Amino acid sequence: MGMPQVASHFSIDDYMVWEAEQPERHEYLGGEVFAMTGARDTHNTIAGNIFASLRASLRGGPCRAFIADMKLRVDAADAAFYPDVMVTCDARDKGPAADLAKRHPSLIVEVLSESTAAYDRGIKFEHYRNIDTLQEYLLVEQDRRHVDLFRRGADGRWVLESFTDAIELTSLATPLTLALTTIYEDVDFTLAAERRGASGGSSDFL
């Protein structure tokens, strides 16, 4: 998320109309919109691998996967985001009324970078927890083979699990076991190491 681009008191409905006419993507939070930065090859590869696996697994069922360009509207947080990947199985997310944004996902996936990890784990997750249909929040690191899964329990509490081999997603109509070799297919971790070395260990965009 970058610097705000529009003055405050910009309503979310105004944002939805305005955003549909913009050549670039912007997220919305509490009356301000924020320009989205471009993503690295590694980020796009990981998100694409996850989306492809979900798409194949969900084919013919009630759930649908979306990647990058589909907005997620969180009215309880007065916010709209572009998750890297999300899945919704809710009938309310079908039809013309849900053409520009979904509101009832069961799974959200974010691919982390050094510049966004704290935000994705903190404030953004706080907003995502306002979504009553959300059952799983998957955070995927792009510089090493490691994923964290926050899963909502029957008592409403979120439990964190970390994985380095394979992960079972249970928020879908049919549970899916997703191997980390699949998530990280075609990812060259030497590029990440070189990038960290060249930047002194920091990254200023995805």
What CATH number should be reported for the domain holding residue 45? 3.90.1570.10
Greatest Cα-to-Cα distance within the chain, rounded to the nearest angstrom: 48
Q: What is the pLDDT of residues 60-99, one digit of tens each?
A: 999 999 998 999 999 999 999 999 999 999 999 999 999 9
Is 203 inside any structural domain? no
Q: 3-39 pLDDT, tens per residue?
A: 445 545 689 999 999 999 999 999 999 999 999 887 8
| Residues 176 and 74 reside in one and the same domain | yes
> Over 80: is that where the pLDDT of 146 sits?
yes
User: From CA 109, how far away is CA 98, in angstroms rounded?
Assistant: 20
- Residue 73 within any structural domain of the chain: yes
Element containing residue 35 per DSSP (H, E) = strand 32-35
Are residue 22 and residue 98 in the same domain, yes or no? no
Can you read off the two tokens belonging to residue 165?
A: 């081999």
- What's the average model confidence in pLDDT over 139-145? 93
pLDDT tens digit string along 92-121?
999 999 999 999 999 999 999 888 899 999
Question: Are residues 20 and 42 both part of a single domain?
Answer: no
Query: What pLDDT score was predicted for residue 205?
Result: 32
Residue 203 pLDDT class (50, 70, 90 cuts) = very low
Q: What's the pLDDT score for residue 206?
A: 38
Looking at residue 8, its pLDDT comes to 53
Segment 158-202, tens digit of pLDDT:
999 988 899 999 999 999 999 999 999 999 988 666 665 655 544
On the CB side of 192, how many CA atoms lie within 13 Å of its CA? 17
Which stretches of 70-205 are assigned E, i.e. beta strand?
Answer: 71-74, 79-81, 85-88, 101-102, 105-112, 136-141, 147-152, 158-163, 166-169, 176-179
Report the alpha-carbon distance of residue 9 to residue 42 in Å, rounded.
36
Total domains in the fold of the chain: 2
Q: Which domain holds residue 13?
A: 1-36
For residue 38, the model assigns a pLDDT of 76
For residues 105 and 174, state if they share a domain.
yes
Q: Do 97 and 9 fall into the same domain?
A: no
Residue 127 lies in a domain: yes
